[in-house]
Structure 1
């Protein structure tokens, strides 16, 4: 891809591959020593592989990006407080980092320092890197779909921050999905048996590309994704992706009612992680998602969406919240000015929004 951000994209793609290697190494070592019953009972707060992978990948991304782009700000999910309180966990994270070629810490204290760079807001900085080391922690622990999200934001023309580059690594997603308009529905258990995965990326205004994440051969060229959402002119062409009956933050019955009103098969593609859902939308495996939180006070986290949702815009999609407002990325770590999400092909976004409003009014949720 020929773009003004060629260097940034090259660096981010390399780091995405190194991050995927870390995640797969941690996961494979874990499965060699654990029983399935133990896997099912673990959470992100346990001394678990997702904890080790989260910290190690955030350290890799933060350390490498600040070294390469020292004038940029960083925003990530983790802080190093837990590591400082748990020397054994810190030692594990530092050991795992040696798998990667992208960046190496001077010592364990350095690991903590670079992770904590991501807790700052970066006021006064013109560009901000936002990343989620492991999106889909529950599915990661079970060897199912998860993603590594890397986004670059820059100052917008009218202030605030706008997405300018996205790189998403999906270590368990078949990179050929979405070719020739197959449009098949996928779920968290739809795992690429070859172990090559997919990396999906874009620079604003230059389209979306996908290629193998690991073990890419010299003759495999990046595949540009068609602007498929641009071709959808009526609600008859809508295909859903959601998270059905797996998260208690959304209103499942309302999402189902919207799909019924639009004549859309439901749930369609069913994925736990938001980043995977945005990838699914960008590849044409779906073209519509609606998410209404149970409570107005619930706010989305920037690292679950920034960059990844830009992939859908680059193929002709429109994204707002369920009130029809543009997504505001200038509010820090949380999307404080928005409630929920609505993504659909641009030409029918209004029709989907109308169906959402009607369903919310029927439920008394506006």
Structure 2
């Protein structure tokens, strides 16, 4: 039995329920939307998913702290937006009564929803049990019907112990190759994956469902015998990672396969199950600090699938400092055996800048 068996199950069910809400938001409200203004579908989905996840965590682990992206001040001032989100939150549940019951049942009212959202205000740190939530990671991917992720991780004394990613638009089939067509126009058929890991216990995938958890499968990164045959995953947005530097790194490594661009921690999930091989997030700003909720779950899942994850200096990602990865610059994720070669190429290219 896992040392974090309850935490893992609650996290999986909470992410599964929140993923249902995000899909409802997309199908009911996001068609034709391309911007993130205050009433955009991603705003509705962010708040709603965060409320549902925190509700489950507080029902089961009331003393744990939570680091999350959203706060409820905007909803207290915007009655229409608050009502819209409450309508979704109050009517989204798992179809399996036992699974729904494990999450603590329904949220009482709008005020309770606002209180739950604001529980995500922890400053993080190196002591105690802290959950990190990104309710919709990959804003533009979500809006275009491409890749996004519902992300949840548990850190204990600054070390990530449990990680769960809900990726509603990734193919269920772990062997499905990455393609350039994954970034828009996805259908629900054959798609929707829940990725999970517990420190020291490996990584798994299973189909996202609307009720109880589906049967899991072990996943692992692909063994690379020749680095030139590898496939990169990178961010869609050039503002998130330097595409030019990555092209130079690929050239240095002899990699000719086209990079696959997708939003969110779906990149971590994709390389963890061997659909891709290398994920680079290269710094585009001297001052930008990555948020812990953008990396905690994916970092653990890749490492438990046989990968290594560091920053561009070869340091492990440090989740113990606060709400950001202030001790790190960039991300280099690759199969453990290939990671030193990839890191060397990254450092050689970046040293010329």
Q: What is the TM-score when the length of structure 1 is the normalising length?
A: 0.87
Shift of 1:183: 4.4
Distance 1:269 1:27 in 2: 23
Aligned twin of 2:290: 300
Which deviations, in whole Å up to 9, do the C-alpha atoms of 1:238-295 show, x marking residues without a partner?
A: 3211125x2323221111000110011354321122x111111111111212222122
Q: Any gaps of 5 or more consecutive residues in structure 2?
A: 94-102
Q: For 1:234-253, what aligned pairs fall within 5 Å after superposition? A: 234-244=226-236, 246-253=237-244
Contact 2:311-2:328 within 8 A present in 1 as well? yes
Aligned twin of 1:10: 9
Residue 222 (structure 2) pairs with residue 223 (structure 1): no
Aligned twin of 1:105: 107
Aligned twin of 2:166: 169
Quickly say closer, same or farther: Cα 1:352–1:46, change in 2 above 3 A.
same
**Partner SS for 2:337:** helix
Aligned twin of 2:300: 310
Shift of 1:100: 2.5
Aligned twin of 2:197: 202
Contact 1:184-1:285 within 8 A present in 2 as well? yes
Quickly say closer, same or farther: Cα 1:154–1:124, change in 2 above 3 A.
closer
Aligned twin of 1:158: none
Q: 1:319 aligns with which of 309, 313, 319?
A: 309
Quickly say closer, same or farther: Cα 1:217–1:70, change in 2 above 3 A.
closer
Shift of 1:51: 0.7
Which deviations, in whole Å up to 9, do the C-alpha atoms of 1:209-259 show, x marking residues without a partner?
A: 1111025799x631111x334x33552353211125x23232211110001
The structure showing larger relative contact order (alpha-carbon pairs under 8 Å, at least 6 residues apart) is 2
Q: Which moved more, 1:71-80 or 1:259-268?
A: 259-268
Quickly say closer, same or farther: Cα 1:122–1:257, change in 2 above 3 A.
closer
Quickly say closer, same or farther: Cα 1:190–1:237, change in 2 above 3 A.
farther
The CA RMSD measured in Å over matched residues stands at: 2.2
Residue 277 (structure 2) pairs with residue 287 (structure 1): yes
Q: For 1:84-123, what aligned pairs fall within 5 Å after superposition? A: 84-101=76-93, 102=103, 103-121=105-123
Shift of 1:191: 3.3
Contact 1:135-1:146 within 8 A present in 2 as well? yes
Q: 2:249 aligns with which of 254, 258, 264?
A: 258
Shift of 1:311: 0.8
Q: Which moved more, 1:254-263 or 1:351-360?
A: 351-360
**Partner SS for 1:221:** coil
Distance 2:82 2:188 in 1: 32
Which deviations, in whole Å up to 9, do the C-alpha atoms of 1:167-222 show, x marking residues without a partner?
A: 111112121132xxx6444532383541651111111111111111025799x631
Aligned residues: 342
Contact 1:196-1:215 within 8 A present in 2 as well? no
Shift of 1:127: 0.9
**Partner SS for 1:343:** strand
Distance 1:215 1:174 in 2: 16
Q: What is the TM-score when the length of structure 2 is the normalising length?
A: 0.90
Shift of 1:117: 1.0
**Partner SS for 1:172:** strand
**Partner SS for 1:118:** coil
Q: For 1:309-348, what aligned pairs fall within 5 Å after superposition? A: 309-348=299-338
